[in-house]
Structure 1
Amino acid sequence: MKKPYHTLSDHLRATQGQKLRKICIDGGFTCPNRDGTCGVGGCVFCGERGAGEQLDPSLDIRRQVQARLEKSDPNDKWIAYFQNFTNTYAPVEVLRSRYDAALCDDRIRILDIGTRPDCINEEIVKLLASYQNRCTVWVELGLQTANEQTATLLNRGYDNACFTRAVELLHAYGIPVIVHMIIGLPGETREDLLHTVDFINRHPIEGVKIHSLFVMENTVLAQWYAQGSFVPISMQQYVEWAMDVLTHLRPDLIIHRLHGNCLRKLLVAPDWIIRRDAILYAIHCRMHGNGWWQGCFYRKDCSM
């Protein structure tokens, strides 16, 4: 069954000649929303080790890359993904040395940097752009929502205007931006989701990562869940809203992800999050059954 949206796999085959595998890297960074620069504690859903709980921080960057390559087919090509915390949150020379360490093998085709909009400036963007003669460079930004009230509740730590400035600066240097958005945030409705989609559509970005909000242990969100003040959405609701998102997104946007990942031992709720194949199958079948595809309800002139 052909997927009813613009998949990352199809994009990579068209631009790289093959599907690429991913090396997730712990770059040894922290976050300004944890160290007191702009906040403490991080976003309410963020775990103690950021987004890469499965990574081994005891290995230096080069060793993390080499350890993965040693176990792979020599014909495989790779994305080096700096995943944990804020991977532009350091002086430029520190960033350069860490990015260089990741690009230690010519099988690395893409340098993928996860960061925050408030940790993007022109000096950093010039550094990132300097790698474009060696590999493709992506930057991933965590918007999560365009609802400023929800963003404050999440302790996101920056406003939408900051996000816009970062995207426009990266775009000016030809660096593709991938945006993270979350379905099922506290208090958000279908209208809030479509507002976020419209906000994304109006920015010069290349791709989107979409997933449902899930509860990890040792987070503020886990406290809310234990107190009964946060209830995760059902799988059925996620499927419905994911279809709403896909059908209203610009058709050119690359869907990098359509589900969340969490280590089973760290997951508090909901249990259905780990049913990746069932989630994707439900979305694909429902969209095909309805005759829907990515962007079928997108309107370029829609108002925010």
Structure 2
Amino acid sequence: MAHPAPPPDAAAPPEDFGGRRYNAYNDWVKRAHGGRLQKISIDAGFTCPNRDGTLGVGGCTFCNNDGFTPAYLRERRGILAQIDTGIAFMRRRYPDTKAFLAYFQSYSNTYGDLARLRDCYETALGHPDIAGLVVGTRPDCLPDEVLDYLAGLARRVPLELEIGIESCDDAVLRDCLRGHDFACTQDAIRRAARRGLSVTGHLLLGLPLETRETLIAGARALARLPLDALKFHQLQIIRGTRLANRYRADPASVPLLSPEAYLDAVIDVLEHLPPGIRIQRLGSEVPPAQRVSPDWGIRLSRFPAMLDARLGERETWQGRLFRPAAGAAGKTEACCYYAG
């Protein structure tokens, strides 16, 4: 596949990439805070408007949270017990961790009565080893009163709002029964950023109907939004989903990316992003028992080196094709997660 040649005025990857060709979040955390910030996943029992009948039932075609849920969360224990178990595990795995963040991960963690949200978040923050919060949700589950509350929390503790974007193309979103359009996503990100909240977007590459052209168009749209960070995940067919049924009935209807094609898709997005957006994650691993396909046989820990190598082969880097809009002002460092 042909890729754009560097423009005549192309320079080189920014020096603050630390020798990489993209802005790695973990590198920035170590520089800014002297160590690792580890997220402790929590299942607080939230659901989703695409599951409880408000928008639909059964969720998005690709969604089964069991594929991404740590084993200790399946015991359905309380928030503090989950944190204790998660921290014990992470301390063994990452003994150099500087601080732990409570990660409300499963389903839509701003979908509920404000009093319930407040109780869940305050319970997590009451744990002596928790330094801040990460709250995962959908863009259509962020009413102004919830954003106002989160903005107040963010003045007390570090707080990151993680919004599921998945795709920037409305046809793709409709096909996967997402239940909202990209305009909803744009609005949610802007309203959150106006309140000073740090926003991380979650992008799922390889969804049916997504093409290289729609992906690049989406990247250009994301480049105009006040995002602090971005997570990439590859599409995996997870058992118990509509997409798994569709794949079994007609595998050709769900073409899956190879590792090489996936890395090129990530790069196609990176090239158009502002250099300041930190890349938190490059992929995901669904346990084999939960996954129908694909089986790449590659551990996630290899992705950073593979991505840097492929970026080098393509003679490109994050932001190489990014062009700020005339008069546009990006998000300043003072608004960013764990700033200062």
TM-score range for the pair, normalised by the shorter chain length: over 0.9
Matching of residue 65 in structure 1 with residue 83 in structure 2: yes
User: Are residues 144 and 134 of structure 1, via their aligned partners in 2, closer, same or farther at CA, if it must alter by over 3 Å?
Assistant: same
Measured after TM superposition, the shift of residue 274 of structure 1 is 4.7
Q: Higher mean Cα deviation, 180-189 or 251-260?
A: 180-189
Measured after TM superposition, the shift of residue 208 of structure 1 is 0.5
The secondary structure found in structure 1 opposite 2:271 is helix
| Aligned residue in 2 for 1:175 | 197
Deviation track 1:211-239 (CA, whole Å, cap 9, x = no partner) reads: 21110111111111111221211111112
Measured after TM superposition, the shift of residue 241 of structure 1 is 1.3
CA distance in 2, matches of 1:215, 1:157: 20
Deviation track 1:153-194 (CA, whole Å, cap 9, x = no partner) reads: 011111122112211211121001111112111122111110
Q: Higher mean Cα deviation, 51-60 or 164-173?
A: 51-60
Contact 2:105 2:135 in 1 (8 A): yes
Please give the residue correspondences for 1:194-209 in structure 2 after superposition, counting only pairs within 5 Å: 194-209=216-231
CA distance in 2, matches of 1:286, 1:66: 39
User: Please, which runs of 5 or more residues in structure 2 have no aligned partner?
Assistant: 1-17, 327-340
The secondary structure found in structure 2 opposite 1:20 is strand
The secondary structure found in structure 1 opposite 2:74 is coil
Deviation track 1:209-268 (CA, whole Å, cap 9, x = no partner) reads: 112111011111111111122121111111211111112211100101111221221011
Amino acid in the other structure paired with 1:138: E
- Of 1, 16, 19, the match for 2:36: 19
The secondary structure found in structure 2 opposite 1:33 is coil
Measured after TM superposition, the shift of residue 202 of structure 1 is 1.1
Deviation track 1:260-287 (CA, whole Å, cap 9, x = no partner) reads: 2212210111101753244433221121
Please give the residue correspondences for 1:22-37 in structure 2 after superposition, counting only pairs within 5 Å: 22-37=39-54
The secondary structure found in structure 2 opposite 1:222 is helix
| Aligned residue in 2 for 1:94 | 116
- Of 264, 267, 277, the match for 2:291: 267
Contact 1:50 1:84 in 2 (8 A): no
User: Are residues 74 and 201 of structure 1, via their aligned partners in 2, closer, same or farther at CA, if it must alter by over 3 Å?
Assistant: closer
CA distance in 2, matches of 1:58, 1:15: 35
CA distance in 2, matches of 1:182, 1:245: 12
| Aligned residue in 1 for 2:282 | 258
Amino acid in the other structure paired with 2:59: G
Sequence identity (%): 34
TM-score normalised over the length of structure 2: 0.83
Measured after TM superposition, the shift of residue 75 of structure 1 is 6.5
Equivalent pairs, count: 302
| Aligned residue in 1 for 2:332 | none
Q: CA RMSD in A?
A: 2.0
